[in-house]
Amino acid sequence: MIIVIRLVIVCLFFHYRVMHPVHDAFVLWLISVICEIWFAMSWILDQFPKWFPIERETYLDRLTLRFDKEGQPSQLAPVDFFVSTVDPAKEPPLVTANTILSILAVDYPVDKLSCYVSDDGAAMLTFEGLSETSEFAKKWVPFCKKYSIEPRAPEWYFQQKIDYLKDKVVPNFVRDRRAMKREYEEFKIRINALVAKAQKVPEEGWTMQDGTPWPGNNVRDHPGMIQVLPWSKWWP
């Protein structure tokens, strides 16, 4: 209804403009009217999607039947996920870890999935947190895939106040869930310990296990670092 009212107002406006030309500056008036007509046509064309909205629905079962047939190599395209972070003080490591865990546990062939984390701040806390996350993912991802867990971020999954037994028929689910919750609580304690450790920066800066200075001690000027954490080889 609002669109119709606006259309009527636009038509009345152009009727007035055409019926009352400015003879003293006819060229400028003509250019102005042409521009106004152009903007009006653009607005009208922009309304068509609102009048006739298109809804699309994805059928994952059909995608599986076509590209991921049982007994045959998966034809699904490889997918890369990029997660960027800068300051672990503003972006808590536990939140970053849950983001990465939810990506790794997505319902997709693990050999077709890669996750890249970019830390412009080169914080040792982020590096150590990712190492812990990679180890915990070895337990969390199989658990999610085995029982079709949703949501796949452990923090949000274990906080849900719902009947987590709904639609679950595997007898070992309750036992495995309790064990996984305990594993996640221990994982959180390790992450919290890393955060507490990061608050006490040594005067000479952080050092690595071999005694060499951590390249990211200077946040504003540090060399590039690449660390590969394989996580899919343990998944059959």
Q: What is the largest CA-CA distance in the chain?
A: 88
AA letter at 214: W
Q: Nearest 5 degrees, angle CA 178-CA 182-CA 187?
A: 145
DSSP per-residue string spanning 78-143:
PEEEEEEES-TTTS-HHHHHHHHHHHHTSSS-GGGEEEEEEETT--HHHHHHHHHHHHHHHHHHHH
158-186 in b/e burial notation, b at 16+ Cβ within 10 A?
A: eeeeeeeeeeeeeeebeebbeebeeebee
Tell me whether residue 120 is annotated as binding: yes
Q: Give the count of beta carbons closer than 10 Å to the beta carbon of residue 136.
A: 23
Q: Report the Cα 181 to chain-centroid distance in Å.
A: 24
User: Are 205 and 214 in contact, with CB atoms under 8 Å apart?
Assistant: yes
Tell me whether residue 87 is annotated as binding: no
Q: Give the relative orientation of helices 173-198 and 93-104 as an angle to the nearest 10 degrees.
A: 140
Nearest-angstrom CA–CA distance, 213 and 207: 4
Question: Which residues define the annotated binding site for UDP-alpha-D-glucose?
Answer: 84, 90-91, 120
Binding-site annotation: residue ranges:
84, 90-91, 120
